[in-house]
Every structure is written in C-alpha cells, then in structure tokens.
Amino acid sequence: MSGGIEAAGDLATGGLIGRAFEPHAGELVHGAHGSGLCLNCGTALKGDFCHQCGQTAHIHRTLASIGHDLLHGVWHFEGKIWTTLPMLFTRPGQLTRRYIAGERARFVSPLALFLFSVFLMFATFGSIGGPIGSASVQGERNGVKFDTSAEGIKLAQKQIGEQSRKLRAERDAIAAKGGDTKAVDKKIKENAKEAKDLRRASTIINGDFVKADFDGEINTGIASLDKRVEYALKDPKLFFYKLQASAYKYSWALIPISIPFIWLLFPLRRDVGPYDHAIFAIYSLSAMTMGAVVLSFAKVIGLPTGIIMTILTFGPPLHMYKQLRGAYGLGRFGAAWRTFALLIFTILAGTLFFIVLLSLVA
C-alpha cells in the first residue's frame, strides 16, 4: 500500500516538475477575457494573453483551480502530450526536426517530457516492477549443467558432488601408483570454484548480496572502483536506495554525456549544432524511458516474455534509425551506420553515467 502511495506521489511530482519546465504558449484558457490590465505587469490587455509578459488574462483564485492545475500538470500537460507522444514513437525524426525548426507551442518541450518520463519510469518500477523480471540463469560449464533457480541449484550441487567424488577417487588411484596428481588437483579446484560461483550467482539473483561472500575477490582493475563495489556489497539496501535517489537527481546528466557522442556522428555537418543534438538526445531518452513503462504494464497484463525481449532488442535500434533519418535528413545507409555507432555510444554513455552515480553514492 505504501509503495503504491509513494509511486503515485512520484508520478504527481514528475508531472508538476515537468509542467514547471513546460511553456504555456499555445494553450487556451477557458473563460479568458481580453479587457482591463494585466495583473502581472499592468499592460493593457488586447486578447487572452498579455502581449508584454505572456500571462493569461484569466487568473484563478479558488481551491478548485489548484486541483485543476494538478490534474492537468500530471496527466495532460494541457493537451500537448497527446500530440507529442504518438509522434515520439511513430515519427520521432519528424518530431525532433519540427521542434528544432520552431514549432514549440504545438509539442511538449523535450526537457519537460524527459523529466516526466523519468519520474514515471521510477514510479512504475517502484510499484509494479520493470519489464524484465528475475529469472533463472541456465548453462553448462566444465561438463556441469547449472540453473540458478532453487531446483537448479540442488541439481547442480548433486552433479558437482558426484563429479568431485569421481575426481577424488581418480586422484587416489593415481597417488597410489605414485603418479603425478597435479592435473587432477587442478580439476578438483576448478570444480569447487564452479560450485562456489553457482551459489554466489544464485544468492545475488535472489537479492541477498550480503551472503554472497566475495572474499575480497573484487578486481575491476581500478582500485578506487573496487573499493566502491565492496562498499556497495557491504550494505546493498542502503546502496541501492542511494543509487535510486541519485538517479532521480542526476538523470539530466545523461543529456550532456550524450551530446559529444552524437556530435561524433556529424563532425563535418555545419547545419546542425549542439542544440540540435541536445533535442535529439532528450527526445530519444524520453522515448526509451516511456517505452520501458509501457512494457512494464504489458508484462503485468500477461504479454509473453519472449515478445517483451524481442521489443527490447529491436525496438531501440529501430527508433534510433527512424529518428536519425528524420531529424538529420539522412539516407538509409547513412542512418544505418550511424544507428550502429549510436548503439555503441549508448553503452559508453550509460557506463559513464553509472560511474558518475557510483562515485556520488559510494
């Protein structure tokens, strides 16, 4: 119950913050009048809006107006959202190009949409979970089949136990003959490590990092990063709480991180600049976060995991391709190779963002 209330609060907060960044241009006010003086700057009114400062002619002073503003801020963005969202998913390139060209009053501004989508995503994940649920990992290593589900762990332990007994018997036989047991000892050691790694993987997937027991084996090659990872493993609940809070606060950092990578796709183009790349990045990030929200609800209503994974695999590249081609006026080949490069840049940007969060949290 408390999780649902918290998620609803996050959703309302996201709508209101997004609304704070959303310009009022192009919005009609019911009951507006065009006479008298502007209550903000004192200019004589000539229409529904003050031509000097832009304030609406009709000002509410009732409690009902506060509720009205809240509902509009959270759900409607004064009607623009229903014009923006369809284009964001079906014609992202055209949306980006038209906004850059000057159609600002028709669509929700990129920053407002991004802030709203981020808060909506975290609220959704906090209440119903993400589009990908926890699942067992299956595979085979050194002849031992493993499955990180509860049943799989028992089966793997049984297989490893049998294999260990055979190896020990083989070692005893070799030792009795005075032979070299180094090769068998190595296999026994590897077998024990496989069992430990499997138990550790199962513990992590089940969410109990504290019992994972890494024994000081964290080694990323960067000493400072190793310390931060070890800190996270000591108190994972506190770490992930801080990580989520930081992701809320610093989600905007994805924008400046992404701009240089997008610029690398068009180093010789003088007709596009950093502002164009920023709008492209913000709309793209908004589409990805909103898509994750939609897939989360799709999972709840029973959409097969295979379909969700297919959409997650092919949806982002297709969206990037359409947005690149439409926003920058590219041909098929130019958009295709830039999409491939952008996918790589996305991984790099995401890694940098995570490192930034890790440095802030740990």
Q: Note the pLDDT tens digit of each residue in 231-268.
A: 766 666 777 777 777 887 888 899 999 999 999 999 98
| Mean pLDDT across 286-304 | 92
* Cα–Cα dist 103/205, whole Å: 47
- Using CB atoms within 10 A of its CB, is residue 236 exposed (0-12), middle (13-18) or buried (19+)? middle
Q: Does residue 40 register a pLDDT over 60?
A: yes
Provide the whole-model pTM.
0.67
Greatest pairwise CA separation for the chain in angstroms: 109
**What percent of the chain clears pLDDT 70, i.e. is strictly above it?**
69
Looking at the fold, whether 197 and 291 belong to one and the same domain comes out as no
Integer distance in angstroms from the first to the last C-alpha of the chain?
Answer: 30
Q: Does residue 142 register a pLDDT over 80?
A: no
Looking at the fold, whether 93 and 145 belong to one and the same domain comes out as no
* Cα–Cα dist 4/120, whole Å: 13
Looking at the fold, whether 31 and 17 belong to one and the same domain comes out as no
Would you say residue 215 lies in a domain? no
Looking at the fold, whether 231 and 326 belong to one and the same domain comes out as yes
Would you say residue 283 lies in a domain? yes
- Name which of 27-36, 94-103, 104-113, 198-207 the model is least confident about: 27-36
Q: Does residue 280 register a pLDDT over 60?
A: yes
What local confidence, expressed as pLDDT, does residue 77 receive? 54
More reliable by pLDDT, 139 or 357: 357
- Name which of 51-65, 92-106, 137-151 the model is least confident about: 137-151
What local confidence, expressed as pLDDT, does residue 204 receive? 55
| Mean pLDDT across 227-232 | 71
- Residue 262: CB partners within 8 Å, gap ≥ 6? 277, 280, 281, 342, 345
Looking at the fold, whether 28 and 126 belong to one and the same domain comes out as no
Q: Does residue 8 register a pLDDT over 90?
A: no
Looking at the fold, whether 232 and 361 belong to one and the same domain comes out as yes
More reliable by pLDDT, 306 or 238: 306
| Mean pLDDT across 35-58 | 82
Token pair for 224? 């400072």
Q: Does residue 308 register a pLDDT over 70?
A: yes
Would you say residue 264 lies in a domain? yes
Q: Does residue 32 register a pLDDT over 50?
A: no
Looking at the fold, whether 251 and 327 belong to one and the same domain comes out as yes
What local confidence, expressed as pLDDT, does residue 70 receive? 66
| Mean pLDDT across 47-60 | 80
- Name which of 118-127, 312-321, 331-340 the model is least confident about: 118-127
Would you say residue 210 lies in a domain? no
| Mean pLDDT across 276-302 | 93
Q: Residue 36's pLDDT band (boundaries 50, 70, 90)?
A: confident
Token pair for 247? 């992701």
What local confidence, expressed as pLDDT, does residue 210 receive? 45
- Name which of 36-50, 93-107, 126-140 the model is least confident about: 126-140
Looking at the fold, whether 347 and 240 belong to one and the same domain comes out as yes
Looking at the fold, whether 44 and 189 belong to one and the same domain comes out as no
Looking at the fold, whether 142 and 236 belong to one and the same domain comes out as no
Looking at the fold, whether 46 and 163 belong to one and the same domain comes out as no
Q: Residue 157's pLDDT band (boundaries 50, 70, 90)?
A: low
Would you say residue 211 lies in a domain? no
Q: Residue 3's pLDDT band (boundaries 50, 70, 90)?
A: low
Q: Residue 307's pLDDT band (boundaries 50, 70, 90)?
A: very high
Would you say residue 213 lies in a domain? no
**Mean pLDDT of the residues in the chain:** 77
Would you say residue 90 lies in a domain? yes
Structural domain range at position 47: 23-76
Q: Residue 55's pLDDT band (boundaries 50, 70, 90)?
A: confident
- Name which of 43-52, 146-155, 187-196, 306-315 the model is least confident about: 146-155
| Mean pLDDT across 90-109 | 91
Would you say residue 214 lies in a domain? no
Q: Residue 218's pLDDT band (boundaries 50, 70, 90)?
A: low
Looking at the fold, whether 354 and 229 belong to one and the same domain comes out as yes
Domains of the chain: total: 3
